[in-house]
Structure 1
Amino acid sequence: MATASVYLSGEWKPSSGLKTFQAHNPTTGEVIGDPYPISNWTDMEQALQSASECDLITRDWSGDRFAGLLEAYASQLENRGDEIVEQANLETALPVTPRLKGAEFPRTLAQLRAAAQAARSGEWAMPVIDQANNIRSMYRSIGPVFVIGPNNFPLAFNGISGGDFAAAVAAGNPVIVKAHPAHPGTTRLMAECLVNALMAVNFPANFIQLIYEVAPEEGLKAIRDSRIAAVGFTGSQKAGIAIKAAADKAGKPVYVEMSSINPVFVLPGTLAEKSDAFAEEFTGSCLMGSGQFCTNPGLVILPPGNETAKWIENVRDRFANAKSGPLLTEGVKDSLLDSIQNLVKGGAELLTGGHAAKDIGGAAQNTLLCVDAEKFLADSDLFQQEAFGNCSLIVKTSDPDQMTAIAQSLEGQLTGCVYLTDQPEDEAIYQQLEPILRRRVGRLINNKMPTGVAVSPAMNHGGPFPATGHPGFTAVGIPASIRRFSMLECYDNVPEHRLPIALRNA
């Protein structure tokens, strides 16, 4: 069985790396597809040099050209949509419908085309002209961007098709892509579409570089290399912190989305008026996709009262009776079960689940845990660790002040939800919680679960550390996401004929 080629210096070629890996079917555990290479520094050096050379060619091109590439790429993907979706299903066990074909693939196309529209309009660059002082400025491309994709969105967040990729290209940057080893075949199919798009719109063939995997030390070395201008990463906190440290040491921008437990604060009126409906909504959100979303509701803070005990029992039964789904990899399952055990050892009560599923390979039982507020506040660092998967931790409070204290103890999160009614008691508690949560979450939500990140210009898919590496930027939401991969360029007393077109006098 031949080892798959990498795409470097404008051509498909054998990797210089001698080690390989293969994808696995999460449901059966079977090895699937071709071997894929683990690249070494020789591959990385080629990628860095080729991307740097390409940047010299494309850096002053108009936004129209990058828009044309993104649109051509979306069309190429559409032509092979069924094949791509089937491969993604094989490698991740995410359902073809409604998830991959009905939601994630259309979203991928939509964000590529939205990025194209932004590139063409140029409004993302925020040109400013001070005619009195003859000073002008705008955001422009920053240089080669290293994009590292996650395991849980093989299409919409893939390093070669997701939001970071679309934003980097819309800003005018060559991209070096590291695929995720959980779905290399999916990435290769999309890369083939992208190469066809490059040829169709007369782009340099080396505008994109693709490797499938690389040893961590080689990847960090590449991040520190002066030829990388910026880094985009979605994944675990451990990897994200290492990547951020490498980029920070080299003094370059790095945008890492790492972990979030997305707290849900439930105020008394919700359980009094719509307890069952809220239980159904929460269960559906937490178990959707086996909980493998960065916005999964992993922490629920409940008010005191008799309704709380009834709600917990309701949700426990729903979790126990719902069928578990396969997790993306054995590593995800092992990490989830380890996190659950750590929570139990720390004093959380296991209400249901907590073990590997017996009826389906690669799965964990739907898991619900519970802890009282006093115990949570005594060791909030422990109880805030992310258990990535079909699991959530309930915190029972004895008075509203404990809700405020829990909010104050939270690390930075992508989202924070508050479920409430128009009852005066709910509103009073909300007014206490809101200013605290507002400092700790990127997206504040009322009466709605956090799963699902709309492709909207107003969306913030970001938040304070450690949810991300910087609270001022979003991974979703064009045009704001494009500016991550740009630099502010100022022109002082530069004659008009030497200026970018966007900065010339009308």
Structure 2
Amino acid sequence: MSTFEPVLIAGNWRAPLDPQGSFRADDPARAETIGPAFPISGQADIEAALCAAVAAADALSSASPERIADFLERYADAIEADADQLVALAHAETALPAEPRLRSVELPRTSNQLRLAAKAVCDNAWTDPVIDTRLGLRAHRAPLNKPVLVFGPNNFPFAFNAIAGSDFASAIAARNPVLAKAHSSHPATSQRLAQRAHEALLAAGLPAASVQMLYHFDNALGLHLAGDTRLGAIGFTGSRTGGLALKAAADKAGVPMYAELSSVNPVFLLPGALAERGDALAQEFFTSCTMGSGQFCTNPGIVIVPRGRHGDAFVAASTKLFAETSSKVLFSHGVQQNLARALEGLLLAGAELLVGGSGDGFRFDATLLSVEGKTFLSHAQALQAEAFGPLSLIIRVEDVTEMAAIAAAFEGNLTGTIYRADNGSDDDGWHAVAAPLRARVGRLIANKMPTGVAVSPAMNHGGPYPSTGHPGFTAVGMPAAIHRFTALHCYDGVADALLPPELRNHNPQRLQRLIDGRWSEADIQA
């Protein structure tokens, strides 16, 4: 009989009930399978986990903010204390650099994200209390009282992991149980994170089924689960194809789904900026496009470059940088195959290959393509398809007017960047491009590549479809990210003593509340 790693269900690490097979992680750097066998869960495990999460929902929704924050803080501490082993596992399963990427950037970001969620819990900022004393109405954001299903992506083994990332922290902060579906690219990393989460959960005295994790399950079972009305919401980061299939199933059941799907993150280089610092921009572009082998949702997938001496020099410098770098290691053979298909689609739509274009196994060359602006406008849908990896398309344009037309042809994106000259010569061009671009991106960036996503209350890591499924929400930044996993509760004429604490007349926390149209920390005089 096969031996599988245990699953975390109903507060216990136990053997899977009805495994449908198993899988092992890959070491992308060596293109070989590593580690133990992890189960592909069947319907019995999924049902057991969902039932346990439903049973825990009421108790978790009534837990004190102090206890929720205690769990988040304990978990952050545990992640940092276990950094050596976590980094070693993530490096082996993803080939991402242990330093600085995993240890000095992503792991601290993950623990900091948990602590920011704890802070939002303690100050109740995410509840957004609104009070109308004249009509006797009071409203705030509250837990869903249902589980949240979280799907983690392949490209962030810590910061977006289903059992540790922003979706996880946001759902727990709103006092909802989480059923995490780990990504098959890093099962051992996810397992160790789940062990630390489980220990912190028990130490904080929260319901044991508040945090559960399955490693993998069949796509058909995933669609069935997404359409289960016992779920309160779904958080998803991954491919557009997979995300839309899950969203269709969720929509039929009325389950809200917050999905990050795809983005090409266009970068516009205005003429003055190229004249001032074209070589430096080429280096910035190359570094951003090839960082992490280009496997970022904020990778600069399209760069818009004006014709002329400075634009030509930028293209030549970029091509040289791409040609001189070694092939890049990807997370899986599947990522390599998808990138090859994306490249083929871009070539069929009229793009010209400048450099790269080859790959096999777990590797792919840094690849640069070019296309005329008029060709892009004629085939905009095909030429802005996401190519997940170290690949970017340069669009050559005649002038700023054509830049603006191209900006208007983009689908929704997470980011859009405009580089302008320091001397103000590009300011008219900025306005011409920013006007159509603003409505098509979640975050408008000036004078830097889009790769970094700061963990800040002011960050929007979201955007119009198809970058996400809903333009009004962000996956990063507390307390805004928490709002996705809340319900708006209104109280009409309810006695003060029966209201939730943040809606009562007395405000001992000095919480900012919108009272009769004005923000105030004051008590309400009865």
TM range (shorter): over 0.9
Asked if 1 retains the 8 angstrom alpha-carbon contact of 2:264 and 2:413, the reply is yes
Cα drift, residue 18 of structure 1: 2.9
Instruction: Choose which of 141, 144, 147 in structure 1 pairs with 2:143.
Output: 141
**How far apart in 2 are the matches of 1:407 and 1:224?**
36
Partner of 1:117: 119
- Are 1:348 and 2:351 an aligned pair? yes
Task: Letter of the 2:10 partner, please give it.
Answer: S
CA distance in 1, matches of 2:423, 2:73: 49
Deviation at 1:205, TM superposition (A): 1.2
Deviation at 1:227, TM superposition (A): 1.1
Q: CA deviation at 1:424?
A: 5.5
Partner of 1:388: 388
Which structure 2 segments of 5+ residues have no match? 507-526
TM-score by length of 1: 0.98
Q: Are positions 1:313 and 2:316 aligned together?
A: yes
Q: Which amino acid aligns with 2:97?
A: P
Once residues 270 and 435 of structure 1 are traced to their aligned partners in structure 2, the CA distance between those partners, rounded to angstroms, is 19
Amino acid at match of 1:488: L
| Aligned mates of 2:389, 2:467 — CA distance in 1 | 16
Q: Which runs of 4+ in 1 moved over 6 A?
A: none
Counterpart for residue 18 of structure 1 = 20
Structure-2 residue corresponding to 1:448: 448
Letter in 2 for 1:63: P
Deviates more, 1:419-428 or 1:404-413: 419-428
Aligned ranges 1:238-253 → 2 under 5 Å: 238-253=241-256
2:338 aligned residue (330, 335, 340): 335
Q: 1:104 deviation in Å?
A: 0.2
CA distance in 1, matches of 2:59, 2:277: 60
2:267 corresponds to 1:264: yes
Q: CA deviation at 1:130?
A: 2.1
Contact 2:143 2:174 in 1 (8 A): yes
Give the letter for the 2:284 counterpart.
E
TM-superposed deviation, 1:405: 1.1
Task: Work out the CA distance in 2 between the residues paired with 1:58 and 1:301.
Answer: 49
CA distance in 1, matches of 2:133, 2:348: 66
- Tell me how far apart the structure 2 counterparts of residues 452 and 424 of structure 1 sit (CA, whole Å): 26
Counterpart residue number, 1:41: 43
Cα distance per residue 1:355-395 (max 9 Å; x no partner): 016xxx61100100000011111100010001110010000
CA distance in 2, matches of 1:123, 1:313: 50
Ranges in structure 1 where 5+ consecutive residues have no aligned partner = none
- TM-superposed deviation, 1:402: 1.2
> Which residue of structure 2 lines up, in the alignment, with residue 431 of structure 1?
431
- List aligned pairs for 1:113-262, cutoff 5 A: 113-142=115-144, 143-262=146-265
Aligned to 2:405: 405
- Alpha-carbon separation, structure 1, partners of 2:219 and 2:70: 34
Q: Which amino acid aligns with 2:57?
A: D
Give the conservation status (yes or no) of the 8 Å contact 1:2–1:34: no
> How well do the aligned residues superpose, as a CA RMSD in angstroms?
1.1
1:67-146 map, 5 Å: 67-142=69-144, 143-146=146-149
Instruction: Provide the residue aligned with 1:295 in structure 2.
Output: 298
Q: Name the amino acid aligned to 2:120.
A: A
Where 1:185 maps in the other structure, the secondary structure is: helix
Residues 415-430 of structure 1 aligned to structure 2 (within 5 Å): 415-423=415-423, 425-430=425-430
What is the distance in 2 between the residues matched to 1:113 and 1:424? 41
Stretch of structure 1 that moved more, 37-46 or 182-191: 37-46
| In structure 1, C-alpha distance between the alignment counterparts of 2:274 and 2:208, rounded to whole Å | 58
Matched, 1:7 2:22: no
Task: Indicate the SS of the match to 2:385.
Answer: coil
Question: Cα deviations across residues 27-74 of structure 1 (Å, max 9, x unaligned)?
Answer: 111111111111111111111110000002121222221111111111
The CA distance in 2 between the partners of 1:310 and 1:336, in whole Å, is 27
The offset of 1:422, in angstroms, is 4.3
- Deviation per CA, 1:271-300: give whole Å up to 9, x if none: 111111111111111110100000000000
Give the aligned length: 503
- Matched to 1:213, the amino acid is H
**Structure 1 residue aligned with 2:68:** 66
| Counterpart residue identity of residue 11, structure 1 | N
Instruction: Determine the C-alpha separation between the residues in 1 that align with 2:104 and 2:328.
Output: 19
Q: Does 1:368 align with 2:368?
A: yes
